[in-house]
Amino acid sequence: MLSSTLLLPLLPVAAAVPWGTPSGGGSSSSSTPDFDNVTIFVAPENWARRSTSYARVALLNQNCETDNVLLTTFTLTPDDERYYPVFASHDQGQSWEQISKIYFSQDDTGHDFSQGFLAQPDFLELPIDVGEYPAGTVLFTGMGQPNDRSSTNIYVYASRDKGYTWEFVSQVAQGGPANTTNGATPIWEPFLLMSPVSHSPPWVMNAYSDQRDPAHGQKLAHQSSPDLKTWGPVVDDAAEANYTQRPGMTTMAKMGNGMYIFTYELGFSTDGLPTNSPYAVHYRISSDPESFGDAAEHLLRSSSDGKIPSSSPYVVWTPVGPTGKGTLVVSDGSYSEVFMNTDYGDPGAWFTVETTHGVGYSRSLTVMPDETKVMLVNGGMYNTSVTVVSAGIIDVPGTYADGFGPEASGKDSVSSCGGKGFWNNWGEEW
């Protein structure tokens, strides 16, 4: 079939309420089309390196837009000057066209990236004005190594015209040369998020993997900014007591109960895990996305089949589900399946769901406008000779959690309009 219809396992009582017994808010109906493995990009045959990976997506609906434009970008290595491609879809992911390229230019950064390495991108559309950047501005962040490979750098760029042109904003942080050996000092894998709890009006967070702290082989940390020009101090998000453990690859999402979930891989975990989970996915839950450092750490393990996701997780929450608590969806880099939870991240409530979208390194997830579907974009497997960037839909059955849905005055999980909506704690003015 076209869409990735859920093949649901028989679940133990502790895993989740059965999908056939919904509770909570109004019924859900879908306006998002079903499609499976739509090709976005394949590198030309004459490129020396045709590998892609690490796709990211922005759904442009944070400033009262009604056309539901999607943007995607990913890591690639063209033969000529290095760049991040930006593709747009105007039909909810069924077709895509390239609209721009993002360069880390020497004029902006002071480094020459023309034959360097640009990787690990992320997008965020601003739901409010931040500094000189109005609501609806699309932010981009990525990690770049210059031609001489002397450093790793995280920059922010901005688009005021929905992804067609880009301008340099600021440098968030700089680390040493790329090297995954403990004791080296690079930084990696930036992730953008609004921070509305610690700051009012909200600041922008840039969370990333950080090897610069001599007390940790690698830790996860963030810096926040009120204006996108100046960035605050480094704040730990996951810093393990065991020096050799390497938490990495932050993603975060807000849930309908007001709590935030933070997923990451944990390299060389000491949980006695099977050998097929060397970077087992762990997660934390907190009321504030800037206060995960002291939150309890949980191993993500499926209660339906015992599987443990490993490497490059991505998490989203949609208000649609069978229990009145919406559904968490987590992708990883080792399974084609996704991992779901309909109890706000309860450790005993995870289960796996089959998809037809293949295994990929850091697949992205995006809750679509009607929230009954999640789009998965697979950028390809890291270090594979030829890869395809593709998109497909995962169906999420159930009803809307109380207070969510199309009749909830903008209180949905993915959009904000006029400073009101889910990111604004459901209606309070920022």
pTM: 0.91
What is the CA 169 to chain-centroid distance, rounded? 21
- The whole-number pLDDT of residue 402 equals 85
Nearest 10 degrees: CA dihedral of 263, 268, 272, 276?
80
Question: What domains sit in the chain, N to C, each tagged with a CATH number?
Answer: 38-424 (2.120.10.10)
| Tens-digit pLDDT profile for residues 304-362 | 999 999 999 999 999 999 999 999 999 999 999 999 999 999 999 999 999 999 999 99
User: Cα dist. 229→14, 153, 171, 295 in Å?
Assistant: 47, 15, 8, 29
Other beta carbons within 10 angstroms of residue 131's beta carbon come to: 18
Other beta carbons within 10 angstroms of residue 178's beta carbon come to: 18
Residues whose CB falls within 8 Å of the CB of residue 174, separated by 6 or more in sequence, listed in order: 151, 152, 153, 154, 187
User: Cα dist. 198→28, 226, 288, 389 in Å?
Assistant: 33, 11, 7, 37
**What six digits make up the tokens of 428?**
């309070």
Q: By the 8 A CB rule, do 140 and 164 touch?
A: no
- The whole-number pLDDT of residue 406 equals 63
Cα–Cα distance for residue pair 256/170, rounded to 1 Å: 32
- The whole-number pLDDT of residue 277 equals 82
Q: What is the pLDDT along the chain (430 residues), one digit of tens a residue?
A: 334 334 333 333 333 333 433 344 555 556 778 999 999 999 999 999 999 999 999 999 766 666 779 999 999 999 999 999 999 999 999 999 999 999 999 999 999 999 999 999 999 999 899 999 999 999 999 999 999 999 999 999 999 999 999 999 999 999 999 999 999 999 999 999 999 999 999 999 999 999 999 999 999 999 999 999 999 999 999 999 999 999 999 999 999 999 999 999 998 776 667 667 889 999 999 999 999 999 999 999 999 999 999 999 999 999 999 999 999 999 999 999 999 999 999 999 999 999 999 999 999 999 998 889 999 999 999 888 999 999 999 999 999 998 887 654 445 566 666 555 555 443 344 4
- The whole-number pLDDT of residue 217 equals 97
User: Cα dist. 115→34, 314, 359 in Å?
Assistant: 39, 29, 29
Q: DSSP alpha helices (H): ranges in 207-301? A: none
- The whole-number pLDDT of residue 403 equals 81
